[in-house]
Structure 1
Amino acid sequence: MDRIENLMVGFGNAAWGMPLLVLLVGGGLFFSFYIKLLPYRYIGHAIDILRGKFDKKEDAGDISHYEALSTALAATVGMGNISGVAIAITMGGPGALFWMWISALVGVSTKFFTCTLAIMYRGKDSKGELQGGPMYFITEGLGKKWKPLAVVFCIAGMFGPLPVFNANQLTAAFNDSLFIPMGIEQSTTTNLIFGLGLAALVALVIFGGIKRIGKVASKLVPFMVVVYSAAVLYIIFSNFTLIDDCFALIFSDAFSGEAVSGGVIGAIIIAGVRRAAFSNEAGLGTAPMAHGAAKTDEPVREGLIAMMGPIIDTIIVCTMTALAIIITNSWQDASESGINITLNAFDIGLPGIGKYVLMLCILIFSLTSMFSLSYYGSKCFSFLFGAEYKNIFNVFYICSIIAGSVASLSAIIGFIDGMYAIMAVPTMLSAILLAPKVKAAANDYFKRMKAGGVL
């Protein structure tokens, strides 16, 4: 087992080297300046779209703009925001949060480009149903000769979005905060039983397809964000005198690395970007699959909706989590890792009830993430083997929940991170090649909007 764990950790670390960092951050900067920061100026218009002001029932697609964003956020606003932030601070110190912010800001443009392309170049699966995502904008936008790039994306896309991380951390949280205090000792058997229960819950939703996932996510995501935000903000503002010191530490450590990484700034940057990518998925190619199902004939509209994801996910939710962890000093406990660091922060910040509030949030975060992530993997499987066989993947997906509940956290992180890194390469390369198409569509859309022609 140790050999497999070391192999997975090595795989993840090797994949997240400087070349990928340059591709993700450099690509995001390219998108931002290539379009002259145009999407950033229309956040108000994006909110109008999200409110349904421009929805048309006759438009092609399966779900509304709001449901598409909720589905994408259900996959991103999850364990990456709770456990992933703790892991980032453990790996790179408080300064890692600064580089998460930078990654998210450039990720706004990346999401705009990739999700605009997801609508612009939708294709049909083997059942003749309209689909969107990197594999389709590669083959439809760049041409069939680029299909090997789409195949690489889909192979990695069947494994990167597996729910093993969510299942592992949810199991750990319930063990430490509920089962062990009740006298139920942690063991492979108890973890397996818990994993089976999770698998059954997720199966009830994912076999209903994207429409059921979208409806469930659109109801649960707003609720979980409000409850979690209220709890974290209470912890932060009940210690408001420490807020300035927290930000000072974040900024100073971002360029010194003294807190954890011994002054190795490159390690801090990689830790921040790596966890930000896991959190908001900008450039990885998963979100375009959800946004590609939106009911719209205006690609730019979906790009505007999608660009709000990194803002909500990383700039807002991850920052709140990080401040709670830093304010309570729970990150300095070397004996804890992952979700337990955040649990300790809640227990310190909200004595008596904190860990139970977080348990409720973790349960909803994890379940909605697992609902949405299944859709991504099944679309990749359908592209490779045919949509009529996608339930074969769903069975594999359900089984991976059980495996994740008993697996090693470090092995899971290495495996998932490595697969996401592979997914990012075809996503970013194809988006850069197709960037002129997005720029032309954006210029046309905003020109029509100013002339009153966008309805």
Structure 2
Amino acid sequence: MDFIQDAVSGFAGWIWGVPLLILLIGGGLFFMVYSRFMPFLYFKHAILVLLGKYDEKDKEGQISHYEALSTALAATVGMGNISGVAVAITMGGPGAIFWMWVSAFFGIATKFFTCTLAVMYRGRDSEGEVRGGPMYVITEGLGQKWRPLAVFFCIFALVGALPIFQANQLTAALNTVLGPNIGYDPANSFTFLGAQISYASLTIGAILTVLVSTVIFGGIKKIGKVAARMVPSMVVLYFILVVYILLQNVGEIPGIFAAILDEAFTGSAILGGGVGAVIIVGAKRAAFSNEAGIGTAPMVHGDTKTDEPVREGLVAMLGPAIDTLLVCTLTALVILGTGVYEEFVGAEDTGLLGVTLTLKAFNAAIPGVGGYLLGLCILVFAVSSLLSYSYYGVKCMSFMFGAKRGDLYNYIYIGTIILGAVTSLGFVVNLIDSGFALMAIPTMISAIILAPKAWAASQDYFARLKRGDFKR
């Protein structure tokens, strides 16, 4: 078991090197400059599209603009923002947050291009249903000779879409909120393959498996409807809790921003390395937070009921702004503002902290009930994330082996929920980081090659919008 964990950790560290950072951050910068910052001028229009003003219910596709963004956000807003930020801070210090912002800012342009292309170059599965995603962008936009690159994406998406991070952090949260101690009590655990496994974690994993199974076999339409109902209310509750905490520490906020900016260029990664390591930590956690350039979101946005690709690109670009620039920043301010982070700087045997650190911050700021309220948010966010990620794997399995076999992935998926619940956070983070890194390569390569097509469609759409062709 230790050998596997060491191998995965080593690979994750190697793959997330300078070339991948250039591909993701440099690619986002390219999209931003290439589009002359044009998508940034249409945030108001993007919101109107999101609110349904331009919905086209008679068009081909599976879900509405709102359901598409809700489903994509369900996979990002929540565990990526609540736990992912804590992971970023414990690995890279406050400075990692700055590089999350940079990645997200460029990610807005990346999301616009990748999701516009996901609708422009939709294909059909073996059942004749219209589908979108990087694999179809590659085969429909670049041609069948590029199919090996599409298969490459799908293979590693089966890994990146695994529910192990969400299951791991939800289990940690419930153990922290409901249990008297963080960690494993030998009297309430057992040893399997050299690892100590808590009976409580195993039980939580089994319950999650049953809950998730009742929804994911219903397909994207059912997932989209459930996510559309679950996510907004919890975002509002989380936002209220965070604002309440920040108002208690409002005088410290300027100092927190100053520390983030200072350590972004002068700090050192807590778990090893210098400023370069801080940048890598920030980029990795931003990629997990908003998935810009990874390729998961285009699989959802590509299924929207519309024949205007640019509209969905505009809706999709709202994702990084919401989940990283807004929600992640709020989480970081709570963790840094309450001072709980400082307890672990230089401490021995602390390990990699995720959601437990955020829970400590909420308990410190709202004694007695803070942990329970955050636990409720985590429960909903984690379950909604578990629902969304299943669809990514099903879609990739369908592309490679046919639509009738796509649901086979769900059996693998629900089986690994228990694995995620009982394994270590370090192994989970490194495995998902590895999958995401390999998914980003075909996603970004195809998007960069096809960028002129997306930009031509954008110019045409914005010209028609200015003429008033879309008045409702």
Q: Same fold (TM over 0.5)?
A: yes
Amino acid at match of 1:400: T
1:348 corresponds to 2:358: no
CA distance in 2, matches of 1:347, 1:282: 32
CA contact (8 A) 1:25 1:106 kept: yes
CA deviation profile, 1:99-124 (whole Å, cap 9, x unmatched): 00000000000000000001000000
- The counterpart of 1:435, out of the listed 447, 451, 459, is 451
CA contact (8 A) 1:256 1:263 kept: no
Q: Structure 1 residue 78: deviation in Å?
A: 2.0
- Which residue pairs with 1:12 in the alignment? 12
Which residue number corresponds to residue 371 of structure 1? 387
Report the alpha carbon displacement of residue 333 of structure 1 after superposing the two structures with TM.
Answer: 2.9
Partner residue of 1:419 out of 413, 423, 435? 435
Q: 1:71 maps to what in 2?
A: 71
Alpha-carbon displacement from aligned partner over 1:284-328 (angstroms, at most 9, x marks no partner)? 000000001111000000000000000000000000000000011
Q: 5 Å matches for 1:211-290?
A: 211-257=221-267, 260=270, 264-290=274-300
| Deviates further, 247-256 or 326-335 | 326-335
Counterpart of 1:154 in 2: which secondary structure?
A: helix
1:322 maps to: 332
AA paired with 1:155?
Answer: I
CA deviations 1:338-364 (Å, max 9, x no partner) are 111101000101111110011101100
Query: Alpha-carbon deviation of 1:236?
Result: 1.1
**Contact 2:91–2:269 under 8 Å retained in 1:** no
Where does residue 393 of structure 1 map in the other structure? 409
Q: Is the 8 A contact 2:122 2:136 kept in 1?
A: yes
Residue 308, structure 1, aligned to residue 308, structure 2: no
**Alpha-carbon deviation of 1:168?**
0.7
Q: Secondary structure at the match of 1:255?
A: helix
- What SS does the corresponding residue of 1:63 show, helix, strand or coil? coil
**Partner Cα separation in structure 2 for residue 338 and residue 297 of structure 1:** 41
8 Å CA contact 2:100–2:324 kept in 1: the answer is yes
Q: 2 CA distance for matches of 1:267 and 1:296? A: 42
Q: For residue 57 of structure 1, what is the aligned residue in structure 2?
A: 57
Query: Do residues 293 (structure 1) and 303 (structure 2) align?
Result: yes
Deviation at 1:264, TM superposition (A): 1.3
Residue pair 1:257, 1:263 contacting (<8 A) in 2 also: no
Closer/same/farther in 2, CA of residues 385 and 190 from structure 1, 3 Å limit: same
Corresponding residue SS for 1:293: coil
Distance 1:263 1:427 in 2: 29
For 1:77, the aligned partner's letter is V
Q: Secondary structure at the match of 2:75?
A: helix
DSSP 3-state at the match of 2:406: helix
Shift of 1:332: 2.4
Output the CA distance in 1 between the equivalents of 2:233 and 2:436.
Answer: 28
Distance 2:7 2:145 in 1: 34
Q: What's the secondary structure of 2:266's corresponding residue?
A: coil
TM-aligned CA deviation for residue 183 of structure 1: 13
Q: Is the 8 A contact 1:346 1:354 kept in 2?
A: yes
Larger displacement relative to structure 2 (21-30 or 444-453): 444-453
The yes-or-no answer on 1:331 pairing with 2:347 is no
Quote the offset at 1:13 in angstroms: 1.1
Q: Which amino acid aligns with 2:321?
A: I
Whole-Å separation in 2 of the counterparts to 1:196 and 1:29: 43
**Native 8 Å contact 2:268 2:278 kept in 1:** no
Say yes or no: does 1:191 pair with 2:207. Answer: no
Matched, 1:202 2:212: yes
Whether the aligned pair in 2 keeps the contact of 1:28 and 1:107 (CA below 8 Å) is: yes
Cα deviation digits, residues 62-114 of structure 1 (max 9, x gap): 11000000000000112110111011011111011000000000000000000
> What is the CA-CA distance between 1:155 and the residue it aligns to?
0.1
Structure 1 partner of 2:466? 450
Q: Does 1:96 align with 2:96?
A: yes
* Residue 194 of structure 2: aligned partner: none
In 2 relative to 1, CA 123–175 (structure 1 residues): closer, same or farther, beyond 3 Å?
Answer: same
Instruction: Give the residue type in structure 2 aligned to 1:23.
Output: L
Relative to 1, partners in 2 of residues 1:322 and 1:427: Cα closer, same or farther, differing over 3 Å?
Answer: same
Name 1:179's counterpart in structure 2. 179
Distance of 2:255 and 2:88 partners within structure 1: 19
More displaced, 107-116 or 403-412?
403-412
Give the whole-Å Cα distance in 1 for the aligned partners of 2:71 and 2:64. Answer: 10
Q: Calculate percent identity across the aligned residue pairs.
A: 58
Partner of 2:396: 380
User: Taking structure 1 as reference, are residues 142 and 259 closer, same or farther at Cα in structure 2, changes over 3 Å only?
Assistant: closer
Q: Measured at CA, do residues 120 and 98 of structure 1 come closer, stay the same or move farther in structure 2, by a change above 3 Å?
A: same
Indicate the residue corresponding to 1:30 in structure 2.
Answer: 30
Stretch of structure 1 that moved more, 1-10 or 426-435: 1-10
The one-letter amino acid of 2:456's match is A
1:3 matched to 2:3? The reply is yes
C-alpha distance in 2 between matches for 1:385 and 1:261 = 41
Conserved? CA contact 1:31–1:110, under 8 Å = yes
Q: Which amino acid aligns with 1:411?
A: F
Aligned-residue offset at 1:180 = 3.3
User: How high is the TM-score relative to the length of structure 2?
Assistant: 0.94
8 Å contact kept, 2:176–2:182 = no
For 2:428 and 2:182, how far apart are their aligned partners in 1? 28
Relative to structure 1, the CA distance from residue 18 to residue 393 in structure 2 (aligned partners, 3 Å threshold; closer, same or farther) is: same
Residue 225 of structure 1 deviates from its aligned partner by 0.4
* Structure-2 separation of matches of 1:250 and 1:181: 31
Alignment length (residue pairs): 455
Counterpart Cα distance in 1 of 2:423 and 2:249? 37
Q: Return the TM-score normalized by structure 1.
A: 0.98
| Match of residue 166 from structure 2 | 166
Equivalent-residue separation in structure 2 for 1:160 and 1:182 (angstroms): 27
* 2:51 partner amino acid: R
Deviations 1:404-445 (A, max 9, x none): 111111111111100100000000000000000000000000
